[in-house]
Amino acid sequence: MSTALVSILNKMIGEIEQKSAVTSDLLNRVKKILEQFPTKPSYHEKLQAWKLSFRIWNTCVDLANNSNKEEKKEEQEEFERGDNAALRQVASDLLYAAGTIEGVESCLLKMATFYYKTGVVWHKAKNFGQASVCFDKATEIISKGSQDKEEQQLLFELLLARSQTAWQLNHRPIVSSLLARARNLLVTFRDKIQQLAEHYLHYGKELLGEDDKECQGEAIKYLEHAFEICSESKGPLEEEEKNSLNALKLQILRYLAAGHSEGKNYLHVLKCVAVLKLGPSHPSNHYLGVRALAGLGRYEEAEVELFSLIRENTASVEACLSALELVLQDSSRMEGCKRAFFALQSFHASNKVIPLRMLEYLLKNASVSDMKRVELALEIAVNSNIVSLITDKSPTGLPPLINADGPGHKEQDCIHAILWNSGTEHFTAKCFEASLKLFEASMLYIPGDGENNPQRAKALRVLTLCHLALSQYDRAAEFAIEAQKIEPNIASTFLKFKIFLQTNKEDEALGEVKSMLNCPDFEPDFLTFASHEAMTHNAPRVSIYALSKLLSLQLEKKNTGTKEAVLYRNIIHVALQNSQSQEALDYMKQAQVHLAEAGFESCFGSGSVAQQEVKWFASTAWNQGLQAFKMQDWDFSFKMLSSASEFISFLEETQENLLWLQKCLLLAISCLLVVDTGVDCVRQATKMLEKCRKVHRDLSMRMESADAVDQTLEAQLALLSFEVKGRAKDHKAQLEILYHCGTLSEFKADYYLRMANSASKKEEPCLDVATTAIRLALKFMLSSSSPDYKLIAVALRTQIKLLDQQKKDGPEVLAVYRQSKDIVGSLSGGEYPEDEAQWLTASSWNRAGLCLKFQRYTEAEAWMEVAVDLVKYAPQLDQRKTAMLDGLNYVRQKILNKKYTPSNDV
């Protein structure tokens, strides 16, 4: 190194010494000077470099040593920033570049020491990469030495320092290798045993803190090595050194036991604990024992260790609680755990965390079926000392020492929440007795004492529900009334309502529904809930009342969240389910009126959902109407069917719906005609018939050809029209209907008879219409390919009776008898009813007798001839044939002789 460079370097070092600081600029300039150092320096240059190196080093030491305490702290920060470490690096590199000098002892050791100490400074500055470079350089240098004791001691320190840096750089395999090399040097340096063991312990502790199982296993290895190293100590030791080493061994054993505990190697834990117990007492010994014994299922022994742990004065509350929770895993140890808890609480009488932690563990981790945990939790929660501690009240009930609503009552709020939540879980699981006790216990921890406390009222309402679930109605009522006193609201009213329902007090329940409407916090939803509750308890009157009030609110434009149509439907459904047909009819009519006033979309909305809704009303009314029709309740049937027809009219005009509407109208008209005979009836029936005809026309246009269903309905329509026209005394229209019926393929003969009967039974009968109907009926029947002669006989007899009303025994009547004779005579034996043939024979003969009575012989002869012709078809009168022939001959003779004596009637 030239004299000029040495002079410049001296000047720079002087600047550092004067300023007592190292700047980046100055440091860079020093490094540039160093770069100019010759590769093969002379002896003089080496000597100059050594001197400068030591001067730089000493400058760094002086900068630290000459500062006051506050400045020393700042100096330490300088070191952490790395400026002084960089300057030390320059001193080390300069010394290494100079190399060894003859005549200077331990050159290699000095160079290695510079790099070692520089690496330590870099490590403190957290520049682990640079520290590793320095340590590696120091190791390389010392390995070239004579390996005397001093150099080996530095090598030992280097190996430990390198392990620390490698650990920070996460080079763990290198750490194990370095520590193993250091362990080999213990043969020479027995005084380094504790130092090396502490390194192993440190790395083991750090690995124990990680969750990785592989790391846990590695931690065990480090700790086992640490314990082995401590156990390798042989030969005499000073008392202080011996005590220190024993304390370290115990510390290692505790961490080793903890490591085995984390790995669930509980037998190893117990081995460690057994050794630990030979030394001074320590809380961790018992805690580790509890963990291991509980892990092995030896809970009775674990309970013994638990009590030993609690009796340790230095044991932390956290350790005691953790151990207690481990023993609590065995449900058979509940009694012992209870004693352990109260013992722990007595040692820490002012600690609020203990009961909080205990209740949290017992209730949060317990299933609803684990009643032993719940019972223990309840014993703790209701204990007067615990309540006093948590609520800051004396056992005598004196006021709180601090504001009950202040932050100091965090534990009180937490315990209340734990008990309340557990009570809720048990209630949901239908464990009502346990739920009741938990809610009662929670009330002990409600902050404040005011009677108007909403939280207290809420608790009372929950207790009401518990007693209700247990069917303890009197107690439930007490709590509900008390809750209402504290906080009058709809929730309390609703609970009273439930109690009355469950005790079958329907009138009282109805009164509570009325009270709900006056509650300040009333919401329409409560009426819906009330309706559901009432139906559940078979109280339809209450359910309908609640729904009707909800409907009234909706109709008043107070949005209840439910459409009017839905409310009407629900009311009708409830009424019908409980055989309240009249109630259902009333609301069906109301719904019909509302639909007419508000319009379809306003009531039902639009689309398929609306169609389904209105179809429900139509179907329900239709079914009720049909049922009443079968029961011959004509008035109710008419009202339901007429409502049904109105709802069907709002459905899509499909062929199916039109047919349904026509049937509904026809049945409704039929019922109406049975129920009423007045003018209004005729007017209403006429209106419905017009609507029915319109539907019929629409159906006819939709059908490609007439079918049986269509003709049958048309026949029914004709019958009803005939009846209505008769009541309106429009006989001309009736005759038109009669003639029109003959064109209907599905019209039946007995329909004519019904029409004849209808025309003849009026207060003012129309015999022309009636006889026309009979005449058409006979024509219809006689033209049939297979006439029903029984029905023909009925028609003939009916025709005779009708003609008799016009003119008794007149020629028209005789013509019918002769027609009857012709019909009977054209048949083979037995087709015409014999009793009717007998009636015709007897009645015609009797009519002859009446004529003879007044000496109308010619008329008598005509009737007798009919009777004589008919008697052959009346087997019952066979014995009278001869007498009748004699009578006829006698009359004929009288006619000839103008003399006549009447014979007896048949």
Q: Is the pLDDT of residue 637 over 80?
A: yes
- The pairs formed by 733-739 with CB atoms below 8 angstroms and a separation of 24 or more are 734/759, 734/766, 734/769, 735/768, 735/769, 735/772, 738/769, 738/772, 738/773, 738/776, 739/776
Q: What average pLDDT does the segment 342-359 reach? A: 94
Quote the pLDDT of residue 394.
56
- Distance (Å, rounded) from C-alpha 793 to C-alpha 753? 12
| pLDDT band at 532; cut points 50, 70, 90 | very high
Report the amino acid identity of residue 291. R
Kind and range of the H or E run holding 367: none
Q: Which residues contact 757 (CB under 8 A, 6 or more apart)?
A: 770, 798
Quote the pLDDT of residue 704.
59
Nearest one of 364, 337, 342 to 354, comparing CA atoms: 342
φ, ψ for residue 583 (rounded to 5)?
-60, -45
Quote the pLDDT of residue 529.
92
| pLDDT band at 680; cut points 50, 70, 90 | confident
* Residue extents of the structural domains in the chain: 834-906
Q: What average pLDDT does the segment 379-388 reach? A: 95
First to last CA, the chain: 177
| pLDDT band at 14; cut points 50, 70, 90 | confident
% of residues, the chain, pLDDT over 70: 92
Per-residue H/E/C for 457-504 = HHHHHHHHHHHHHCCCHHHHHHHHHHHHHHCCCHHHHHHHHHHHHHCC
Q: Which residues contact 259 (CB under 8 A, 6 or more apart)?
A: 204, 208, 216, 219, 220, 223
As given in the structure block, the two tokens for residue 597 are 């006033």
pTM for the model stands at 0.67
Q: How many helices (H) and strands (E) does the chain have?
A: 44, 0
Quote the pLDDT of residue 79.
46
For 506, other C-beta atoms within 10 Å of its C-beta total 17
Quote the pLDDT of residue 3.
66
- Distance (Å, rounded) from C-alpha 332 to C-alpha 324? 13
Quote the pLDDT of residue 805.
79
Quote the pLDDT of residue 400.
46
Q: Is the pLDDT of residue 76 over 60?
A: no
pLDDT: is 815 or 462 the higher one? 462
- Distance (Å, rounded) from C-alpha 540 to C-alpha 551? 16
22-26, 212-216, 547-551, 873-877: least confident range: 22-26
User: Mean of the per-residue pLDDT values for the chain?
Assistant: 86
Q: What pLDDT digit, counting tens, does each position of 432-449 carry?
A: 999 999 999 999 998 775
Quote the pLDDT of residue 830.
67
Q: Is the pLDDT of residue 820 over 50?
A: yes
193-202, 623-632, 867-876: least confident range: 867-876
Q: Is the pLDDT of residue 67 over 70?
A: no
- Distance (Å, rounded) from C-alpha 678 to C-alpha 237? 132
As given in the structure block, the two tokens for residue 367 are 């299933």
Q: Is the pLDDT of residue 559 over 90?
A: no
Q: What pLDDT digit, counting tens, does each position of 363-380 carry?
A: 987 777 789 999 999 999
CB 829 within 8 A of CB 845: no
Q: What pLDDT digit, counting tens, does each position of 724-781 carry?
A: 888 888 888 888 988 888 788 778 888 888 888 888 877 677 888 888 888 888 888 8
- Distance (Å, rounded) from C-alpha 405 to C-alpha 409? 7
Quote the pLDDT of residue 460.
94
Burial class (CB in 10 A: 0-12, 13-18, 19+), 704: exposed
DSSP conformation letters of 373-439: HHHHHHHHHH-HHHHHHHHT--TT-PPPSS-TTSGGGHHHHHHHHHHHHHHHHHHHTT-HHHHHHHH
Q: Is the pLDDT of residue 562 over 90?
A: no
Buried b (16+ CB within 10 A) or exposed e, 367-380: ebeebebbebbbeb
| pLDDT band at 406; cut points 50, 70, 90 | very low
| pLDDT band at 68; cut points 50, 70, 90 | very low
Q: What average pLDDT does the segment 233-249 reach? A: 79
For 129, other C-beta atoms within 10 Å of its C-beta total 10
- Distance (Å, rounded) from C-alpha 896 to C-alpha 398? 140
Quote the pLDDT of residue 891.
85
| pLDDT band at 73; cut points 50, 70, 90 | low
% of residues, the chain, pLDDT over 90: 43
As given in the structure block, the two tokens for residue 680 are 């209004």
Q: What average pLDDT does the segment 484-505 reach? A: 91
Q: Is 562 helix (H, G, I), strand (E, B) or coil?
A: coil
* C-alpha 169, offset from chain centre: 53
Q: Is the pLDDT of residue 666 over 70?
A: yes
Quote the pLDDT of residue 408.
53
Q: What average pLDDT does the segment 205-222 reach? A: 86
Q: Is the pLDDT of residue 81 over 70?
A: no
Q: Is the pLDDT of residue 505 over 80?
A: yes
